[in-house]
Amino acid sequence: MNYSMVRSLILKDWYFQRRAILLALAGGVLSLGVVALGGQAGFTIGLILLVTIMGLISAITVMGNTLGERENQTLAFTMSLPISHLEYTTSKILGNLLIFVPFWLTLVAGCMALIVVAPAIHGLFAFTVIMAVEILVGTCLMIAVALVTESKGWAISAMVTANLAINVVGYLVAHIPGIRNGMWGTAIQWRPAATISLLVEFALIALLLGGAFFIQSRKTDFI
Amino acid sequence: MNDLSVQFHGVSKRYPHFSLENIHLELPTGSIMGFIGANGAGKSTTIRILMGLVHQDAGTVQVLGHAMPANQAAAKLDIGFVSEDMRLYGQATLAWHMDFLRPIYPRWDQSYAESLARRFDLKPQQKIKGLSHGQRVKAALLLALARRPRLLVLDEPTTGLDPVARVEVLSELMAALADEERTILFSSHNTLDVEQISDQITFIDRGRIIDSDDKEAFLDRWRRLRLLLPPDVVLPRLPGVVDVGGSGRLPVLTTNRFEPAMVSVCNDLGATVQAVDTMTLEEIFVANVHSRREQLTA
**Exposure of B60 in the CB half-sphere (CA atoms within 13 A):** 6
Interface test with B, best of A81, A83, A218 (most B CBs within 10 A): A81
Bridge partners, residue B11, by sequence: B23
Nearest Cα to A139, choosing from A196, A57, A199?
A57
Question: Sorting pLDDT into bands at 50, 70 and 90, what band is B176?
Answer: low
CA distance B95 to B75: 25
CA distance A1 to A90: 9
B4-212 classified as CATH 3.40.50.300: yes
B129 CB near a chain A CB, below 8 Å?
no
CA distance B41 to B211: 13
Is the backbone of residue B89 left (phi > 0), alpha (psi -120 to 50) or beta?
beta
Is residue B1 predicted with pLDDT exceeding 60? no
Over pLDDT 70: what percentage of chain B?
Answer: 97
Mean pLDDT in residue range B215-231? 90
Q: Which residues of A touch B89 (CB under 8 A)?
A: 16, 72, 74, 77
B108-158 pLDDT per residue, tens = 999 999 999 998 889 999 999 999 888 899 999 999 999 999 999 999 888
Contacts of A43 (CB under 8 A, 6+ apart): A35, A110, A114
Question: pTM value?
Answer: 0.86
| A89, A203, B32, B176, B280 from B196: Cα distances, Å | 41, 60, 11, 14, 12
CB interface of A with B, residues 50-89, below 8 Å: 72-74, 76-77, 79-84, 87
pLDDT at B180: 61
pLDDT at B81: 95
Enclosing H/E stretch for B50: helix B43-51
pLDDT at B101: 96
Question: Sorting pLDDT into bands at 50, 70 and 90, what band is B177?
Answer: low
User: DSSP letter at B93?
Assistant: B
B124/chain A closest Cα distance in angstroms: 18
Residue contacts between A and B (CB atoms, under 8 Å)? 65
B27-66 pLDDT per residue, tens = 999 899 999 998 889 999 999 999 999 999 999 999 999 9
Contacts of A7 (CB under 8 A, 6+ apart): none
pLDDT at A40: 67
Question: Sorting pLDDT into bands at 50, 70 and 90, what band is B179?
Answer: low
CA distance B80 to B140: 10
Nearest Cα to B37, choosing from B190, B171, B178, B252?
B190
Residue in chain B closest to A15 (alpha carbons) equals: B92
Contact A223 B48 (CB under 8 A): yes
Per-residue pLDDT tens digits of chain A, which is 223 residues long: 888 999 999 999 989 988 888 888 888 888 878 877 766 677 678 778 877 888 888 888 888 888 888 888 899 999 999 999 999 999 999 998 988 888 788 878 877 887 788 787 788 888 889 988 998 999 999 999 999 998 989 999 999 999 888 889 988 998 998 888 888 888 888 889 999 999 999 999 999 999 999 999 888 887 7
Contact B104 A2 (CB under 8 A): no
Amino acid at B185: L
- Delimit the domains of chain B by residue range: 4-212, 223-278
B79 CB near a chain A CB, below 8 Å?
yes
Contacts of A48 (CB under 8 A, 6+ apart): none
B68-79 pLDDT per residue, tens = 999 999 999 999
